[in-house]
Amino acid sequence: MDFSVGRKAANKAMERMKKGISSFLGWIKPPNTILFFGAIFLLGILYLTLFRLGFLLKYKNLCSGIPLTIILKSFLIGARFDILVISYIFIPLFIIGSLPLVGMGRLKITRIVIETILFTVFAFIFLLSLIDIEYYGEFGTHLSHWAFEYLDQMGMVFYSISSNYPVIPYLLLWGALTFIFIWWGITLSKKIFKRINKGKILSQILYFVLICALLALGARGRLGLAPFNWGVAYFSEYDFANQLALNGVYTLGTSLQDEYEDAHSKSYDEFNFFPSEKAWSEVRKLVWSPNEEFADSQNSLARFYQLPFERNQNENHNVVIIFLESWLARYVGTLGGKPEVTPFFDSLASDGILFENFFATGTRTNRGLLSVLCSFPSQTGRSLMKKFGAPHPFKSVASILNERGYQSILIYGGDLQFDNMQGFLREVGFKRFVGQSDFPKENSLGKWGVPDHIVLARANEEFSKMGESPFLGVVLTLSNHEPFLLPDSSFKLFPPSVPDYKYLNTYRYSDWALGKFFSEAKKEPYFSKTIFILVADHGKVLPSQSDMPWERFHIACLFYAPDILREKSKRITTVGDQTDILPTLIGILGKPVLHQSWGKDILSLSRENKGFAMMIDGKRIGWVEDPYFFVDRIGANHSLFNFREDPLQKNDLSSQFPELVNKFQTEERSLLQASVEASGQKGKK
């Protein structure tokens, strides 16, 4: 076969196409500036489509069961987000580049400046697009303002990134892609501006107006009354397909804009779902128990707790709260977890109060700390812990116990300034702190800090020195956090062939460290007078086709005090979340108190009351009332699942049970609105 004939035919076809394009351009005579921006626009769309393809290939395991037509539609909708991003970039540069006398077609220096800005911006977009791919795997969502929440801890951020991701290969890939883009762009620019174009003034003005109108339409996204928004991406019943449509640069930009408006606005219209009185009335009904009486204010949860006289206790029991880093219920043996990595925790559960259906309120430690220690729910935006001067519509466990003469201490093997932890907790009543700098340097294992068994041993030492005075002790573990470092290789029980083997190994190690702590604590006098609360700070991202899997928030929680709670030892099936720990503890301690908890005393609920839990991830609100899990996407759509029968959340029941949707949405939106109103005066950042 003579291949040369085929090559000649192909070359002739290519030449004819080039002539056709040249002839067409000569006929319509668009200005060179428009040709340049048009070429770069198409090149940018091509690149962003390739990044979306890379996102798809990275998480191809989540595509199971999604029709090809849906995937293709994700790319089409995704192109609209890409067009929006590029249009915003082009508008000011195109206007400047089209100015008479000094535009790109007249002055070479203008062309150089605009091209430099344009290529720099695209390079940054490409970098963010690569970061977004890994960010989704870590947090289960696209880039948002949370990516900047730890800019004040850049050393820790760089350490975490370099320890867990192939930074060098990614930088080389980014450099190569950016180089090709810039080379291609410069080549096109030279060819375009070499072209002599003597279009009439009127036609150039008309072209300018037309392109500006098209760019404005691209930036707005649609012709309708409301502009294009992220809710458009939720077009299908397949959550991963919806996520595939989104653009990480777009989600980051809109999230930062929302955060800025939130910081400079006192209206909070986005969360103003109901009249304030209705929202607060609904919340007061949710958290009230028969042993409580609300204070006078209708827009407050301040209430008096008073048990019947004959049940009041005279002794002030010690309270120790141990935060278990990333203890997802999925791997807790006594909760049916597989593989079982918590043999010691399981042994404690038989002598304690185990909460089987317990949930984290958020996805970060700063959310868990606020909910457990202050009984305040998670919110969208920055953590309240990091907002200077913000109102505190709660009364912390330290503040309550301080009034009873308790000492208080927090022990953490990491940096106490991280998340403004020490500053915030000191403000709400904690007195003493032990942090990474209080341990010998050789004890630290990586930048995160000191491994769990050493931190817990120090906690036992501190508690033993408290004497007869009652105390509140809080311990934060950290070993079960990326980069999942172990003190020695003997804890490497799971091989690399097991999914999440690093996480499972540190999980198993943290359980061992817990056992070592209790073995020593039982020898101390304080042990028999102490109520231990073991609770995870948050869960862990799991591979899922759902944008908000309920299992991600299902965590371990156990109250353990064999000499105090022996008669109450049992497994509790009532649904609860981290805000319920403080009011439940108040009930166990049994003394009258004025508190302002945003949760409920789980142990005082009637058998008919199955409880509830609320969790927040960005603008996705989850609500659990057994057996249902309701997901409310603020500004978009909602879903309802029976998570008992449908744990993978494949069958949306919202259309079948509209009355349940209305009930759950009213409850969770009321709670969110009230919490935003109560903490709504923005502090200085």
∠ CA 275-279-285, rounded to 5°: 145
Write down the residue that tokens 């007061």 correspond to. 284
Question: For residue 632, which phi and psi values (nearest 5 degrees)?
Answer: -115, 115
How far is Cα of residue 594 from the mean position of the Cα atoms in its chain?
Answer: 33
Is pTM, for the whole model, over 0.85? no
How do residues 205-258 score in pLDDT, each as one tens digit? 888 999 999 999 999 887 766 677 777 888 887 889 989 999 999 989 888 877
Q: How far apart are CA 186 and CA 67, in angstroms?
A: 40
Virtual torsion, Cα 7, 12, 17, 22, nearest 10 deg: 130
pLDDT more than 70, % of the chain: 90
> Could you give the 3-state DSSP secondary structure of residue 569?
coil
Q: How far apart are CA 105 and CA 197, in angstroms?
A: 9
∠ CA 79-548-652, rounded to 5°: 90
> Quick one: DSSP state of residue 497?
T
Q: How far apart are CA 331 and CA 337, in angstroms?
A: 4
Given a cut of 50, is residue 676 above it in pLDDT?
A: yes
CA atoms within 13 A on the CB side of 284: 18
How do residues 398-410 score in pLDDT, each as one tens digit? 999 999 999 999 9
CA–CA distances in Å: residue 635 to residues 262, 269, 270, 367, 674: 15, 12, 8, 23, 18
CA–CA distances in Å: residue 337 to residues 331, 355, 504, 542, 545: 4, 14, 12, 14, 21
Q: What one-character-per-residue DSSP string does 333-358 give?
A: GGGT-SS---HHHHHHHTTEEEESSE
CA atoms 643, 648, 653, 658: torsion sign:
positive
Best mean pLDDT range from 101-110, 290-299, 358-367: 358-367
Which of 82-96, 186-200, 279-293, 404-418 has the least mean pLDDT?
A: 186-200
> For residues 376 and 439, is the Cβ–Cβ distance under 8 A?
no
Q: Which tokens in the block code for residue 536? A: 């995870």
Q: How far apart are CA 464 and CA 323, in angstroms?
A: 19
Q: Count Cβ neighbours within 10 Å for each residue of 446-478 and write b for 16 or more, e otherwise.
A: bbbbbbbbbbbbbbbebbeebeeebbbbbbbbb
How do residues 577-590 score in pLDDT, each as one tens digit? 999 999 999 999 98
Domains of the chain: 32-263 (no CATH), 280-308+317-678 (3.40.720.10)
> What is the model's pLDDT at position 177?
96
